[in-house]
Amino acid sequence: MKPSRFFAIGAVLVQSASAHYIFSKLVLNGEASSDWQYIRQTTRSVNYMPTKFTSTFDNLTPIDNDFRCNLGSFSNAAKTEVAEVAAGDTIAMKLFYDATIAHPGPGQVFMSKAPSGNVQEYEGDGEWFKIWEKTLCNENGDLTKDAWCTWGMPQFEFQIPGNTPAGEYLIRAEHVGLHGAQANEAEFFYSCAQVKVTGSGNGSPSLTYKIPGTYNDSMKLFNGLNLWVDSADSIEEDILSTPIGDDAWNGSK
């Protein structure tokens, strides 16, 4: 038994009390990698704390550059491996310590191509496009829990669109907990994997985003929505008023 095991057990107890989480493993061909093997590790003091607009941890907010791949993670880019995946493959990003998503809210996955061709040198300041989106799945469910598609998920499983051009990319998985949105305390959980996409794809996503820049706290979804009071229809409208309501790119041009 490795000494780090004791730290891991302590962290699980802390984590289940706070119900936070972070994506740390890439799942390829059904096999989970080591933590931080292909995903850039953050330098945060407690790695699974959320990013928020107010009452922040580590002074990090969704309008900072480190909202791309989490605080300090670019300093770990060179030592993070690059996973080879074929366009069209289904892979997953899995949570640290076998956690499951325990907050109500949407989940999404974005990609951004490294312009230089080397993702280990790429800060993520280019264009991002969305390849996966999950919002409300069960409008008769509990809006504070299982009405959300991602509720209870241990990982986000998604397909690299078959028409994705070959090259090196960041893949950013993100979950947003909306349980504090009535007080401008939506919680963002995210990190980035480094991959090399192979194949002969020649698609071109028409809808792209800059991170930061995609979200702000004038959006009711993050600041003003109240899951305990609002109707599913009203929440659906709030979703559609943000980029979370945009369709994911399916590989067509």
Under the rule (CB under 6 A), what is the footprint of ligand NAG?
216, 218
Q: What mask, x for binding Cu ion by CB under 5 A, covers residues 16 to 45?
A: ----x-------------------------
CA angle at 12 for the pair 11 and 13, rounded to the nearest 5°: 90
Nearer to ligand NAG, 140 or 218 (CB): 218
Whole-angstrom distance, CA of residue 220 vs CA of residue 234? 10
Whole-angstrom distance, CA of residue 164 vs CA of residue 142? 36
Nearer to Cu ion, 114 or 186 (CB): 186
Q: How far is the CB of 20 from Cu ion (least distance, A)?
A: 5
Helix count (H) and strand count (E) of the chain?
2, 9
Nearer to ligand NAG, 53 or 132 (CB): 53
Taking CB under 5 A as the criterion, which residues in 161-220 touch Cu ion? 187
3-state helix, strand, coil in the chain (%, to 5): 15, 25, 55
Q: What is the CA 143 to chain-centroid distance, rounded? A: 21
The conformation of residue 237, written as its DSSP 8-state character, comes to: H
3-state secondary structure (DSSP) of residue 208:
coil
Contact criterion met (CB below 8 Å) for 164 and 139: no
Nearer to ligand NAG, 43 or 184 (CB): 184
Pick one of Cu ion, ligand NAG, none as the site partner of residue 216 (Cβ within 5 to 8 A by kind). Answer: ligand NAG
Nearer to ligand NAG, 80 or 214 (CB): 214
Q: How far is the CB of 243 from ligand NAG (least distance, A)?
A: 8
Q: How far is the CB of 217 from ligand NAG (least distance, A)?
A: 8
Q: How far is the CB of 218 from ligand NAG (least distance, A)?
A: 4
CA angle at 150 for the pair 164 and 237, rounded to the nearest 5°: 85
Q: How far is the CB of 182 from ligand NAG (least distance, A)?
A: 19
Residues at the interface with Cu ion (CB under 5 A): 20, 187
